Structure 1
Amino acid sequence: MKIIKKLIYTTCFSSLFCLSAQVQATDMFTVKNIGMELARDIASETVLACRKMGYQVSAVVVDRNGIQRAALRDDLAAQFTLQIAEEKANAVVMSGMNSGAFRKNREDIRMDLNHINGIIIMQGGVAITAAGSRLGAVGVSGAPGGEKDEACAIQALEKFEERLEFAD
């Protein structure tokens, strides 16, 4: 009888332990985020793409939480282009879409959103995704028009398309 009780207690304890392990497993999750090297490479390539088109810009890469990972200002780009580029990238993080598309889709609240610290709703912010996961965004400022800023970012991201697609 003592052996059976001991066996029952052991089985119950083991079951509770396994059950608690399963409950705790759902309390944690894994996310992908952009690394420093990739962020640096995207910022650099974005600035170079605009330079080839004759524009002096700044490019800022933020991670999926809007934390700056890389910032680069071309030699003759205005100082304020860094802030604007970061705020464009933050708009992408907030909205989940390129900043120009968000501006177009939400014209009704654009002016209100521009009063949020750290966000500006202007074209020139592009999402960075890898294997279906949003890693962050790149914002560009300094070209004569947001469509040109965006084109530089897209060109840079296309250069790293394979690297992004096969990211772990």
Structure 2
Amino acid sequence: MRTTLSRSLVFVSALALSGGAIAETDDQPVMIEIKRLSLDTALTIARTAIEACREQGVQVAVTVVDRGGHPQVVLRDVLAMDLALEVSYRKAYTAMTFTSNTSSLEDRFTGPFSVGKIDNVLLSAGGVPIQASGETVGGVGVSGAPSGEVDENCAQAGVAAVEMDLEMASF
């Protein structure tokens, strides 16, 4: 018992000392500025994606997530299936998490215990990351079209509608 306690105290002391050394050498700020999408920007992305799909005769659901993967805007067109809501969220979450269009991830994780089996990750076309000056600020997912390619084109149209604004806001 005494040996275990001594080892624990030595370990904790070493850990505390090493943490102190790291804190002294790094000049970490006390607070970090984090860029976030405004509600109006997220809404513009979602509305534009819906309109792009409507132009193709398709009714879909669209979810825009923030940089933490939390839904910021969720829209479902009148005839889009209820299931499309969950699928659009998962596509948006996946695009934001992997900073990549979800179509490029479809064949990436094929093992039975791969990342693709984690909750909320959906490796299917229709998700696009939202970036500003190379920094990921969210993701948009579209679901309900006859193909993931159409879903992704609509999602890309939504991002394209605000792309210039996002780049200008970064300066």
Q: TM class, shorter-chain normalised? A: 0.7 to 0.9
SS of 1:123 mapped into structure 2: coil
Equivalence for 2:158:
156
- Tell me the distance in 2 between the aligned counterparts of 1:115 and 1:95: 14
Q: Deviations over 1:24-68 (max 9, x none)?
A: 752432221212111111111101110011111011000111000
Equivalence for 1:48:
51
The partner residue of 2:29 within 26, 30, 35 is 26
Equivalence for 1:65:
68
- Residues 1:98 and 1:109: Cα distance change in structure 2 (over 3 Å): farther
Post-superposition shift, 1:159? 2.0
Post-superposition shift, 1:76? 0.5
Contiguous gaps of at least 5 residues in structure 2: 1-22
Aligned residue identity for 1:143: A
State the structure with more CA Rg: 1
SS of 1:29 mapped into structure 2: coil
Equivalence for 1:9:
none
Following TM superposition, where does structure 1 have runs of at least 4 consecutive aligned residues deviating by more than 6 angstroms?
A: none
- Tell me the distance in 1 between the aligned counterparts of 2:97 and 2:111: 14
SS of 1:70 mapped into structure 2: strand
Equivalence for 1:85:
88
SS of 1:122 mapped into structure 2: coil
- Residues 1:28 and 1:82: Cα distance change in structure 2 (over 3 Å): same
The partner residue of 1:108 within 81, 103, 110 is 110
- Residues 1:100 and 1:115: Cα distance change in structure 2 (over 3 Å): same
- Tell me the distance in 2 between the aligned counterparts of 1:27 and 1:108: 41
Equivalence for 1:15:
none
Aligned residue identity for 2:102: S
- Residues 1:44 and 1:109: Cα distance change in structure 2 (over 3 Å): farther
- Residues 1:133 and 1:122: Cα distance change in structure 2 (over 3 Å): same
What TM-score, normalized by structure 1, do the two folds share? 0.79
Aligned residue identity for 2:93: N
Aligned residue identity for 1:58: A
SS of 2:124 mapped into structure 1: coil
- Residues 1:134 and 1:75: Cα distance change in structure 2 (over 3 Å): same
Paired residues, number: 147
Aligned residue identity for 2:142: V
What TM-score, normalized by structure 2, do the two folds share? 0.77
What do you get for the CA RMSD once the two structures are aligned? Answer: 2.2
Contiguous gaps of at least 5 residues in structure 1: 1-19
- Taking only the aligned residue pairs, the percentage that are identical comes to 35
Q: Deviations over 1:68-96 (max 9, x none)?
A: 00000011000110100000111112212
